[in-house]
Amino acid sequence: MHRFADSLIRGEAEGYRLMSELLPAAVARLAVLALGRERDTDPAERAALARLAARRRPDQWVEVWRKICHLFAAADAVDLDKKAVVLNAFFAVEEAAR
């Protein structure tokens, strides 16, 4: 995970920016799947994500989404260590997925 986070923040900011958009979007999908409302996904992908989504209630996935959105916003606002932000965002998802 540390190498992945390093690769995101090295060089151009494009990788980090992309992660700051994709990870919250993925967690939002988990909340929608936990509600049983997403239907437009490939069936195999939906089945895999639905198993993960079922580990928490929709409101708990929303809390994870809020937390990681706050992390990325704070990183932009006050120039936090971007590697720590990426790691903490993934750790929040990992904790919820247990």
Per-residue pLDDT tens over the stretch 47-75 = 888 888 899 999 999 999 999 999 999 98
CA distances from 42 to 32, 35, 39, 89 (A): 15, 17, 8, 26
CB 49 within 8 A of CB 30: yes
The domain total for the chain is 1
Range of the domain at 84: 2-97
Per-residue pLDDT tens over the stretch 15-35 = 888 999 999 999 998 998 888
Q: Which residue has tokens 């799947």? A: 33
Give the angle subtended at the CA of 48 by the CAs of 32 and 2, to the nearest 5°: 90
**Dist CA 60 CA 62 (whole Å):** 5
Least confident span in 3-7, 55-59, 88-92:
3-7
Q: How far is Cα of residue 46 from the mean position of the Cα atoms in its chain?
A: 17
Give which of 71, 98, 87, 80 is closest to 4, Cα–Cα.
87
Indicate the pTM of the whole model. Answer: 0.83
At 17, the amino acid letter reads R
